[in-house]
Amino acid sequence: MNSLPRLPSRLPQVGTTIFTVMSRLATEHGAINLSQGFPDFSPHALLLERVAHHMAMGANQYPPMAGVLPLREVIAEKLETLYGAHYDVETEITVTAGATQAIFTAIAACVRSGDEVIVFAPVYDSYLPAIALQGGTARVVNLRPPAFRPDWTEVAAAIGPRTRMIILNTPHNPTGTVWTLADMADLGRLVRDTDIVLLGDEVYEHIVFADGPTAGRHESLARYAELRERSFVVSSFGKTFHITGWKVAYCAAPAALMAEFRKAHQFIVFTVHHPSQLALADFMRAEPGFAAELANFYRQKRDFFRQQLAGSRFELLPCDGTYFQLARYDKISAQPDAEFVRWLTIEKGVAAIPVSAFMPDGSDHGLIRFCFAKNDATLAAAGEKLRAV
Ligand code: PMP
Ligand code: GLN
């Protein structure tokens, strides 16, 4: 007998990520791709030179499991300088294969079958499958348009005896909302004297605009001792240094949490591309101001893109951080957002992401997300097409 094994899906609700779907559609139709979040410009030449250098010098075998020491050292210095947070390089910082792996690993290390994890919707697409694969249950707290601010009464109501973790993402993809000092204080109050662990997805930490409510200040979980002691803090070099394809990021956490993280990390990926790590360490030493300039760099892109859309029928929501801009399209169409972006890509030549893809219940606010991490020429060409819609 030759029958295929029956394999009931562990993730029956999951299809291919919207980022892959929309990028593919953009390519098929020759559309300008403002969907998936990645820059269309090159990283700094020095970074490229340093990777080639370290490959030529022989950094081609396994690096240490936690990441190369020079990179962990610059990460520790950065966390100290920016957030006044001391993390031990030996025991409290691990280099990961992108933020996606760091998030997956933190969840795998903490969440057991039956545990609940609080997430905020719109929710980044990797969180729920990662929770489900551990047998956990997501408790979704909605961030409501147009402000998309957390409602702490709702968060308090979602916390229960099974709550193991809260995952937060600030600056927030896709809404561009940035959490404030008051949010951090509320969060601290809610988790005090509990066993709840926090997972901070802070991949856009350097992209907080000074004209927003936090005046350019990123509220990292690392800033506050009370939060830090129960937190995994995740950032991604992909977002900061225009190298999303390198998949290098890190997680910082107190030693006891990091010990559990590494137990999982070593069997999920073991370690991360060696020459990239050394190159990043060299680059961060040589160009210590690069990350601090990022917010200004992207603020200009945001403003340029918003100007491009000024004469259009799209209504733009505020954007206080990240490299994403939300737009309402109700003056153009009454289609559901997923259909609208397909139409926009195929018929009008600009690809975007439907915000409903970030909603676990599929709810549709009539909003789409554009990525403005693009050359001005790309943004201008997209603007011309979008003004004609
Ligand atoms: N979290 C958020 C909010 C993101 O936007 C992204 C990617 N854009 C990630 C995590 C994943 O980052 P990485 O590419 O480093 O895995
Ligand atoms: N995080 C990126 C975005 O929001 C996409 C990353 C991916 O394709 N998985 O567009």
Task: Give, in words, the CATH class of 18-43+292-387.
Answer: alpha beta
Ligand 1 centroid vs 57 CA: distance in angstroms? 30
pTM of this prediction exceeds 0.85: yes
- In the chain, at which residue ranges do the beta strands (DSSP E only) sit? 32-33, 93-96, 116-121, 137-142, 163-169, 197-201, 231-236, 249-252, 315-316, 324-328, 350-351, 353-354, 367-371
Using pLDDT thresholds of 50, 70 and 90, give the confidence band for residue 4. Answer: confident
Ligand 2 centroid vs 225 CA: distance in angstroms? 31
Query: Is residue 117 a contact partner of residue 111, using CB atoms and an 8 Å limit?
Result: yes
Give the model's pLDDT for residue 134.
Answer: 97
Ligand 1 centroid vs 203 CA: distance in angstroms? 6
Query: Is residue 337 a contact partner of residue 366, using CB atoms and an 8 Å limit?
Result: yes
Query: Looking at domain 46-286, which of 3.40.640.10, 3.40.50.720, 3.40.50.10440, 3.20.20.70 is its CATH number?
Result: 3.40.640.10
Pocket test for ligand 1, best of 35, 173, 204 (most atoms within 8 A of CB): 173
Q: Which atom of ligand 2 is nearest to the CA of 371?
A: 10
For residues 94-102, give the mean pLDDT: 98
Ligand 1 centroid vs 62 CA: distance in angstroms? 24
Helix (H/G/I), strand (E/B), else coil: 171: coil
Residues 286-296 pLDDT 10s: 999 999 999 99
Whose alpha carbon is nearest atom 3 of ligand 1?
173
Ligand 1 centroid vs 180 CA: distance in angstroms? 21
Domain 18-43+292-387 shares a fold with domain 46-286: no
Residue 336, pLDDT > 90, answer yes
Q: Which atom of ligand 2 is nearest to the CA of 37?
A: 10
Q: Give the whole-angstrom CA distance, residue 277 versus residue 289.
A: 19
Whose alpha carbon is nearest atom 12 of ligand 1?
99
Give the model's pLDDT for residue 3.
Answer: 84
In what helix (H) or strand (E) does residue 317 lie, and over which residues does it extend? none
Q: Give the whole-angstrom CA distance, residue 137 versus residue 152.
A: 20
- Cβ within 8 Å of residue 67, ≥6 positions away: 93, 94, 95, 250, 271, 272, 277
Q: Give the whole-angstrom CA distance, residue 195 versus residue 202.
A: 22
Q: Give the whole-angstrom CA distance, residue 56 versus residue 66.
A: 23
Domain-wise residue ranges, the chain:
18-43+292-387, 46-286
The closest alpha carbon to 257, from 222, 307, 209, belongs to 222
Residues 230-281 pLDDT 10s: 999 999 999 999 999 999 999 999 999 999 999 999 999 999 999 999 999 9
Share of the chain above pLDDT 70, in %: 99
Q: 94: Cβ below 6 Å to ligand 1? A: no
